[in-house]
Amino acid sequence: MNQKISPTTEEAWIEQDFQRDVWCLFGLPVDNLTLEGTKQLLREKAKRPYNTVLSTINVNWVVQSFTDPAFRAAIINSDIVTLDGKPLLWLARLLGYPMTETVAGSTLIQELHQDKTTDTKLSIFLFGGEGNVAEQAEKEINKNPGGLYAVGSLNPGFCTVDEMSSDAIIETINQARPDILLVALGAKKGTQWIEQNRDRLNAKIISHLGATINFLAGTVQRAPKAVRSMAMEWAWRILQEPKLFTRYAADGFILLRVLAGRFLLWRQFISSQKRFSQQDADSTVLQRENEKEILLSFGRNLQLTPASPLRELFSNCTHSKKNISLDFHKSEFASGAFLALLLILLKHQRLNGTELNTIKVSDNIIKLFTLFCVHEKHPDQDIT
């Protein structure tokens, strides 16, 4: 974290990050959160002295993360990641993950605004959108008082990320001091802008929620709740915006191809998960350290519980600001929760400017890395 906060606050932020109930899906860490839990969490985060980046990922975000390492890194760097779409929820549950519902960004913002009973009203700034849609959304929010109130809007126009990162634009946002900064610039450009500017922004919660700004403005009608409950919102969106058909079809084809290439690995994982979940996890790690590097050698059964000592171990290693090498040559199984914790460790090593390396990896762990896309390559390039 490069924000200007005290070392004590930064230490607390790192420790909290490693305590997340998070699971690995397609090489991305996904938090096990309900809609109500996320709303409460955002209200708590709005009181913190540092900002929080929220990413709500759908199939398009997953597919883009396959081919764009910077985009994938931006999602990993997020402080909260939720599932926005039933297909990803179904896949998570097929892996045995505990997720029970999606947390779509548009639903999240809508419910925060519709909650008129809360004492914690949150301010929101709308950045991006086409034409004057941000201004329209601002007016609609303030026309119907609720749990949100808009403190500003700005469309930077069609320009580069650097151009929309000018001091004047950042100052306009910061003067409004929003609790929530809703960004709508297109997924890649939006996440890049957030990555480039989060340390200059004083907004408490920053999130790219592209279509949400249109729903707030009323320029696009969101699918009725009954349609969403049947997982048919994609069809509703296509009826309103036919140009989305090509994107949805391409994303679906790529995801299905990746899944087909991993079908046998998935079956092996499900079988191993049943067997190893009945055994004690190996939480004892052999640790060796010198002036520049920490070497961690792991045991056979790598599972993770909320109280696992591995969380504190990874947090302490991060605080050391040393390179970290991981030895998995004795490991036979790793859960999705353990792999997600590795992604958080990778996040903090990158933020520290230090390295995270694997020096010895068993065949079983290589298969798990392939299944869960825990690598920097496009998943189609390394299917075994």
| Per-residue pLDDT tens over the stretch 235-294 | 666 677 777 778 778 888 999 999 999 999 999 999 999 999 999 998 889 999 999 999
Distance, C-alpha 380 to centroid of its chain: 22
pLDDT recorded at residue 221: 65
3-state secondary structure (DSSP) of residue 281: coil
Grouping H, G, I as helix, E, B as strand and the rest as coil, residue 88 is helix
Q: Long-range CB contacts (< 8 A, 24+ apart) of 258-264?
A: 258/26, 258/66, 258/373, 258/379, 258/380, 259/91, 261/379, 261/380, 261/383, 262/370, 262/371, 262/379, 262/383
- Per DSSP bridges, beta strands 22-25 and 28-31 are antiparallel
Residue 346 CB neighbour total at 10 angstroms: 18
Residues of the chain with pLDDT under 50: 2, 381-384
The span from the CA of 130 to the CA of 214, in Å, is 9
Domain with CATH 3.30.750.24 in the chain: 264-381
Name the segment(s) of the chain with CATH classification 3.40.50.2300. 7-261
Which residues are CB-contacts of 292 (< 8 A; sequence separation ≥ 6)?
A: 322, 323
Tokens 């002036």, residue located:
291
Question: Rounded to an integer, what distance in angstroms lies between the CA atom of residue 182 and that of residue 56?
Answer: 12
What was the pLDDT predicted at 382? 44
Residues 96, 334: Cα–Cα separation, whole Å: 13
Inter-axis angle of helices 336-352 and 69-76, to 10 degrees? 100
pLDDT given for residue 50 in this prediction: 85
pLDDT of residue 384: 29
DSSP string, 341-378: HHHHHHHHHHHHT--EEEEEE-HHHHHHHHHTT-SSS-
- Give the residue from 41, 47, 3 showing the smallest Cα distance to 22: 41
CA distances from 368 to 155, 162, 364 (A): 43, 38, 6
CATH of domain 7-261: 3.40.50.2300
Cβ atoms 328, 361 nearer than 8 A: yes
Residue 223 DSSP symbol: P
Neighbours of 313 (CB within 10 A): 18
The pLDDT assigned to 378 comes to: 56
Beta-carbon contacts of 286 under 8 Å, excluding residues fewer than 6 positions away, are 296, 297
Helix (H) or strand (E) holding 307: none
Q: What is the pTM of this model?
A: 0.92
pLDDT recorded at residue 306: 87
Q: How far apart, in whole angstroms, are the C-alpha atoms of residue 154 and residue 39?
A: 25
The matching CATH number, chosen from 3.20.20.10, 3.30.750.24, 3.30.465.10, 3.90.930.60, for 264-381 is: 3.30.750.24
In the block, tokens 């056979």 appear at 300
Angle CA 93–98–99, to nearest 5: 70
DSSP string, 102-162: ---HHHHHHHHHH--S-S--EEEEEEE-STTHHHHHHHHHHHS-SSEEEEEEE---S--TT
